[in-house]
Amino acid sequence: MGASQIMTQVQDYRAFGLRFRSEVSMPGLPVVHGTGSMTGRPDVFIRRGCIDDHFAPDERTIRFNDWMSGGDGFVLDVPEVARFLVRDGREIWIDAASDPAIEDIAAYLMGSAFAALLQQRHLLTLHASAIDTPQGAVLFIGRSGAGKSTLLAAMLGRGYAMLTDDICALDPSNPGAPVVVPAFPSLRLMQTSLDALGKTSDGLTALRADKAKFLLPGQPFCDQPRPFHRAFLLVPRARGPIEVFPLSQTDQFETLGQYTFRRNYYKGHGSADFAFQAISALARRDALFRIVRPESGLRINELADLVEDQIG
């Protein structure tokens, strides 16, 4: 299929506050260096092998399009790339296709497979980016192409620290406020976003073999969990000015449900009630706003100005 051939080389990485010991390269994730870097106990093992040796579907197994879930774990099937088995929030098995590119495996591993793992660890996963501010974590929520990662990059240019991109994991168990867990210091940007930021893709790692997205280092980066403060839903529209509107609690609940990353997975894990309660609690904080912007022309500096004014 492409770019880089898969090679088994065990390495420890750090992401979402977890230590991953992986047999597959994970571009963009910080490598654990130093004395004893491979001797500490990892939180998660990522291994290569035949998942049929570790997963046996039965009549209780839930099946939904490209995934299934049962007592032995969660299986994601990506044709011509790999099958992924996620178990107990502590283990991911990768059963690769005949000749996949490592970029394609990494894209699904660090996306859907990570989401399943985080959900198994009782975290709420939102399709959002997030920055750290003096008031706490500020989230940018929206569909693909809404401008979440581009706005994140613009805010980093203004001195705010990155917390996460694409998948935002929140721990709702904190008694004061839900806590945003820092992911890893890399952004996923398309060429159009790089153009809007005045950057080039020269020297950047392609996340996918088709080079649809590139990894941009996310600095400064906050590596500590931060309490949730505010969230903005980014909504492109045909024309008009950039404006911000508060949302009713009903709209906040519906929005958070709609933009829960891989929300159907929670049913497979048997934790749909957990997700419902976490979303309800977040909506009750009454801290979600809608920002509308023109579909054509991101006007990123104007958008960043508005966000700064609204952070409070």
pLDDT tens string 122-173: 999 999 999 999 999 999 999 988 899 999 999 999 999 999 999 999 999 9
Please tell me the pTM assigned to this model: 0.92
CATH level 3 topology of 124-311:
Rossmann fold (3.40.50)
DSSP string, 105-160: HHHHIIIIIHHHHHHHTT-EEEEEEEEEETTEEEEEE-STTSSHHHHHHHHHTTTP
At 298, list the tokens: 């991101």
Residues of the chain with pLDDT under 70: 1-8, 34-39, 208-211
Round the CA-based radius of gyration of the chain to a whole number and report it. 19
Write out the residue limits of the CATH 3.40.50 domain(s) in the chain: 124-311
Say how far apart CA 282 and CA 297 lie, in whole Å.
32
Distance CA 111, CA 167 (A): 7
Per-residue confidence (pLDDT) for residue 2, from 0 to 100: 39
Predicted local distance difference test score (pLDDT) of residue 6: 52
Q: Where are the alpha helices (DSSP H) in the chain?
A: 102-108, 114-120, 148-156, 191-196, 249-258, 265-269, 272-283, 300-311
Residue 38 has what pLDDT? 60
Q: What is the pLDDT of residue 191?
A: 80
